[in-house]
Structure 1
Amino acid sequence: MPNETDQKMMEILRILADREEVLGAKTIAEELKRKGYNLGERAVRYHMRILDEKGFTKRIGYAGRKITTKGLNELKKGLIYDQVDFIFSKFEGMIYQTTLDTVKAQGKVVVNTSSFTDEKAIAIIKEVFEGGLSVSPLVKINETINEETSEKEVLVKTVCGTTIDGMLLNEGIPVIPQYGGIVNVEDYVPTHFTELIAYQKTSMTPLEAFTAKEMTSVLDVVREGQGMIPANFRIIPSAAKERAHQMFHDLEKIGISGMLKIGEDGESVLGVSVEDNMVGIAVTGGIAPLCAAKEAGFDVNIKLAENLMDYNELNKIGSSKSVLKSSGPENGQKVKFLLSRAWNLIQKVDFDPETSNGHMIANISYVPQEDLEEALEIMAEINKMRPEYCTSPFYKIFPHPHDKNKKGIATVCSLTVDGILIKNGIMSTPKYGGILEMEEKGPRFVELTAYSGSSLDPHEIYISKDMTSVNDALNGYGRLLASLKEIPYLARPHALEILSHMKDAGLSVLKIGETSELIYNAKVERYRVGIVTPGGLNPLAAVKEQGILVEPKAVETLVQMSELTEF
């Protein structure tokens, strides 16, 4: 279990990552004190020497330290349970530090920082800004040299939608950021959110999850009025609606908007339900222009809500007037959250591990028909070499519902384990989908996204963003899809017995923890026990890693064990 020293070093790395300049021990000690760590300069120097030895920081003369790329990677994955809690608190901190004055047109705004090496991407980015598809046409573009690669990079800082949350708070309006997601646009009219991820309980910022180039179609929206754009969603008290309207009016005067829709008291907004006495607000994601560059094939590193900067340092490169039209009345479409669908399938699981009969939950992913045979060979190899990395060694071929040139491959979903445990009287709750990194010192989660508050299975996101390395994991080092479930601690002995029968039936479980134990670096609620299972999509992730087009679809349907074929 990570100790207090580990936590202090992670906070030092976090401080260095949040500040772009070189920092000395005195400044770091002051920042640590603000965060509740009473660490003097001498103690900070001691911890910094350890970080230097690990290669996480680099000493810059007598000025102090700077975080390295290795340090940034360790910060991202080192204490994943802390990262999950930190993401939302980071947004809260950015909201608090926003100081923009709309009358004087000066103060701090929250910015996203993105980078790329191909300057041709700038033309695409400018086209989106000209279409007004952003929070603001105010940006800062400059060139720099990447210290790690020595390559010239273009840095683009865009206004983040979190700035709007900060402005609402500055007006005395309590604001609750809820989701980042994707909004469907038809004939230039935003119609509804198609996907959502809650800001709380995820190790990556929600909109970051939707930056894979196949998830958005910002360019299509700018050019043709049809497609998908990133957006975020927050709620405020309905009593503050008029003041919020005035604030948005004042922001528009100085070039900040991005408003997609603001609802009425208790009214759904773009398919997102809102409680009575609250009002929903949807705003275009500040990263939309960068998503367009990704869609065009450019390699863009997108980081959300990275820093604060002075409003006066930004320059206008596009139009404040958006190509989008008013969204109009709600069309009745609602966002369907994953767990609602999953619970209904979980309760229908009747698979008996002792007889190997009954129904299990299946994922159905699609591949081109001409690649089906090769895909099955790759999946068979994964099951042969590392059966523990697969939920089950069984599969089934399905036709594509619309495209005769594609075939579906059904694999057993790990939520089947929850269904079996519940059928046997043990309440099993799916908590997180994650990435499990296999390394010399043992497996550890390096990404986690809660099933609750997400419309997509997290594993679909990780595959789309090419975050796995299942084929590398065959040799001991790599990244697997895995899930974390929780059961009551008193049920652990009974669960061990049932899991033993599951193993005999071919179902894999990687680990069952002790009471309230960190399991592979993921936190489990007090008086609960964690169970980690491999992702049912691991074989399909391996297929995509080898260059075959895969459309991953998790938690799709029920399958009868007797209908499945063993690899």
Structure 2
Amino acid sequence: MTESEHRMIEILRVLTKQDKPTGSKVIADELKEKGFNLGERAVRYHMQILDEKGYTEKKGYSGRVITDLGREKLEKGLIYDQVDFIYSKFEEMIYLTDFRYRQQKGNVVVNTSTIYNKESINIMKEIFTSGLSVSPYVNINEDEDTGEIEVTTICGTTIDGVLLNEGIASQPQYGGLLKIEDFKPVHFTELISYKKTSITPLDAFANSNLTSVLDAINTGSGLVPANFRLIPGIAKERTVNIIEELDRIGIGGVIGISEEGKDLLGLPVPDGMIGIAIIGGITPFCAIKEMGEKIDLKIAEEIRDFATLSPITSQINSPLQAPTAQKVPKIPFILSKSWNLIQQVDFDIEKQKGNIIANVSYLNRDDLDDAMEIMEDAYNNNPKYINPYYKIIPHPENDEKVGIATICSLSIDGILIKNGIMSNPKFSGLLKLTEPPLFIDMISYNGTTLDPHKIFLSKDMTSISNADGPNKILASVKEIPYITRDHAVEILNILNNIGFSIYKIGKPRELVYNSKVDNYNFGVITGGGLNSIGAIKEQGIDLEIKAVEKLVKFEKMDRL
């Protein structure tokens, strides 16, 4: 991204926070606070370009407003910038928090969500009463015309902001899923790093197929969203005191605090630091999703005066016990788990034989014929984007179910490495088939424990099975040293002719489908091995999706 592009993105970010037309002086002042020393004349110059592109619109002498196209550009246009922006957004919210807990005055960070069934409020109230929330303080507004109900709740980032105001550096690390057994927190099962995703981590896990908040409350065992952050060990005593004071006024949700340099709930804590786990502020909304209700989530999008919020319940009875300092297995990220499989790929490009990595998705045997028809239609509608290879395999335990194995894109990394070419899986993403195609969401392979494509599928973000061809598909970015480019291109072209999904081979420093790789490397975009499975899911067939699952002989696979 050039410096000029960076400035224009920042101008769009300023405009998106305004609720009225904004002039160049206000924009220049806002940019100066962000470290961009642009005068009004320079701002006007950039605004003219944004007007021409349709990203902004002039409103007389009052200034500019951002257009819908501008919002889309800001949110997804420079996806590699968006990956960095998620963490910076939380840093900004932490800085803007000025809540004075002793006086109970000031701004807090909030999640603002929309629900469509008034009965959902009762579910929320049950979660707040259980103590599985950051705070019972909420604001509820119902639109009598539409029936939509806007619910504002306090985000756990507020606690980071309060700590910073007290001179304590709190560093958000991960959002994930925390396993509860017999009302006791055991360990994190899934994680996404705040620094390596274009999707807010807890939003990625806010899905009824992933959480089991209601089970955690009703039976004492389940999976709940939670966050993990680090603070300097020397500040532990002050931090504990502040957390206790916050809890007394109704802002809490702290699940556990580690000893200095000691693991917490399966996560390593560096020497000199302590770890803090806090329940996800979206937990009540996850319970609503588990009931099958529709809900739109906005996580840590704004700050709100604490005075505008009031308790939804005065009875808080948390059954959760404090976690014990027991030793639990460390949680490997998806790339760490995958390297041993990548190492075992021995596909021979000349003989077209050997092991590849397969994803395996299980479904009811009775649905297999329909599933195969959907896969075939998806491939015939656009063979460029859908891998045609599959293998039907038995379910290891249930004769009424059957598995469909498809080629995982990590197989391509294994093939290149076998041929002496280093290939690093960098990002897994959602690719929108515009002209040219553009990634609209990305998660780093090295920043998540769950295959990113499973996340996109669980959130119904794909659009693969359209009659007119796919619109949003799964794809991956690989990073390969430039010195190997000629050899790599030769192999990639052979693989593409065989039927492996190779979408684009980039050049050094080229933004390939809006993705960026490090200097002295080039990017390769490959199709996701779960695209055909995504087409099946979109048609309403239940699937248990297992990504990066096992090795399969390529020559034993069938072709659509």
Q: Which TM-score applies when normalising by structure 1?
A: 0.93
C-alpha change, 1:376 and 1:88, in structure 2 (3 Å) is same
Q: Does 1:290 align with 2:285?
A: yes
C-alpha change, 1:218 and 1:359, in structure 2 (3 Å) is same
Superposed displacement of residue 143, structure 1: 3.3
| Partner residue of 1:482 out of 471, 475, 482 | 475
Q: Residues 195-234 of structure 1: matches in 2 within 5 Å?
A: 195-234=190-229
Equivalent pair of 1:255/1:320 in contact (CA under 8 Å): no
Amino acid at match of 1:326: A
Partner residue, 1:494: 487
Q: Does 1:394 align with 2:392?
A: no
Distance 1:266 1:37 in 2: 38
Superposed displacement of residue 82, structure 1: 1.0
Distance 1:51 1:188 in 2: 53
Distance 1:325 1:210 in 2: 23
Distance 1:398 1:538 in 2: 18
Partner residue, 1:303: 298
Q: Does 1:184 align with 2:179?
A: yes
Moved more, 369-378 or 330-339: 330-339
Partner residue, 2:459: 465
Partner residue, 2:82: 83
Superposed displacement of residue 226, structure 1: 2.1
Q: Does 1:362 align with 2:370?
A: no
Partner residue, 1:137: 136
Moved more, 461-470 or 62-71: 62-71
Superposed displacement of residue 11, structure 1: 2.2
C-alpha change, 1:293 and 1:55, in structure 2 (3 Å) is farther
C-alpha change, 1:466 and 1:13, in structure 2 (3 Å) is same
Q: Deviations over 1:251-280 (max 9, x none)?
A: 112211101111112222111122222211
Moved more, 9-18 or 53-62: 53-62
C-alpha change, 1:290 and 1:60, in structure 2 (3 Å) is farther
Distance 2:507 2:422 in 1: 16
Q: Deviations over 1:356-390 (max 9, x none)?
A: 01100000011222111111121122233323213
Partner residue, 1:237: 232
Moved more, 518-527 or 395-404: 395-404
| Partner residue of 2:275 out of 277, 280, 287 | 280
| Partner residue of 1:156 out of 146, 151, 163 | 151
Q: Secondary structure at the match of 2:297?
A: strand
Equivalent pair of 1:354/1:505 in contact (CA under 8 Å): no
The alignment of Structure 1 onto Structure 2 pairs a total of residues equal to: 559
Q: Secondary structure at the match of 2:300?
A: strand
Distance 2:482 2:437 in 1: 23
Distance 2:324 2:318 in 1: 16
Q: Secondary structure at the match of 1:471?
A: coil
Distance 2:301 2:17 in 1: 7
Q: Secondary structure at the match of 1:552?
A: strand
Partner residue, 1:328: 324
C-alpha change, 1:267 and 1:161, in structure 2 (3 Å) is same
State the Cα RMSD in Å. Answer: 2.3
Equivalent pair of 1:342/1:555 in contact (CA under 8 Å): yes
Equivalent pair of 2:187/2:328 in contact (CA under 8 Å): no
Equivalent pair of 1:484/1:530 in contact (CA under 8 Å): yes
Partner residue, 2:538: 545
Q: Does 1:445 align with 2:439?
A: yes
C-alpha change, 1:73 and 1:144, in structure 2 (3 Å) is farther
C-alpha change, 1:290 and 1:17, in structure 2 (3 Å) is farther
Partner residue, 1:105: 104
C-alpha change, 1:53 and 1:224, in structure 2 (3 Å) is farther
Q: Secondary structure at the match of 2:298?
A: strand
Distance 2:147 2:6 in 1: 34
Superposed displacement of residue 237, structure 1: 2.2
Equivalent pair of 2:429/2:440 in contact (CA under 8 Å): yes
Equivalent pair of 2:382/2:469 in contact (CA under 8 Å): no
Q: Deviations over 1:9-50 (max 9, x none)?
A: 432332233345654443223212323444444665665566
Superposed displacement of residue 464, structure 1: 0.4
Partner residue, 1:507: 500
Distance 1:565 1:297 in 2: 37
Distance 2:305 2:257 in 1: 27
Distance 1:320 1:45 in 2: 53
Distance 2:119 2:247 in 1: 30
Partner residue, 2:550: 557
Distance 2:295 2:64 in 1: 27
Moved more, 233-242 or 9-18: 9-18
Distance 1:304 1:21 in 2: 23
Equivalent pair of 1:365/1:553 in contact (CA under 8 Å): yes
Partner residue, 1:126: 125
State percent identity of aligned pairs. 52
C-alpha change, 1:184 and 1:21, in structure 2 (3 Å) is farther
C-alpha change, 1:412 and 1:30, in structure 2 (3 Å) is same
Distance 2:416 2:512 in 1: 19
Amino acid at match of 2:195: Q
Amino acid at match of 2:93: M
Partner residue, 1:258: 253
Amino acid at match of 1:115: T
Superposed displacement of residue 55, structure 1: 6.1
Q: Secondary structure at the match of 1:452?
A: helix
Equivalent pair of 2:475/2:527 in contact (CA under 8 Å): yes
Equivalent pair of 2:205/2:225 in contact (CA under 8 Å): yes
Equivalent pair of 1:133/1:323 in contact (CA under 8 Å): no
Partner residue, 1:32: 31
Equivalent pair of 1:191/1:331 in contact (CA under 8 Å): no
Partner residue, 1:414: 409
Distance 1:154 1:176 in 2: 33
Equivalent pair of 1:268/1:330 in contact (CA under 8 Å): no
Q: Does 1:525 align with 2:518?
A: yes
Q: Deviations over 1:519-563 (max 9, x none)?
A: 111111111110110000000011111111122221001111232
Distance 2:129 2:231 in 1: 30
Superposed displacement of residue 290, structure 1: 1.2
Superposed displacement of residue 508, structure 1: 2.1
Q: Deviations over 1:474-500 (max 9, x none)?
A: 736610100001011111111011112
C-alpha change, 1:129 and 1:21, in structure 2 (3 Å) is farther
- Where do 5+ consecutive residues of structure 1 fail to align? none
Distance 2:268 2:3 in 1: 41
Moved more, 479-488 or 394-403: 394-403
Equivalent pair of 2:197/2:447 in contact (CA under 8 Å): no
Equivalent pair of 2:381/2:469 in contact (CA under 8 Å): no
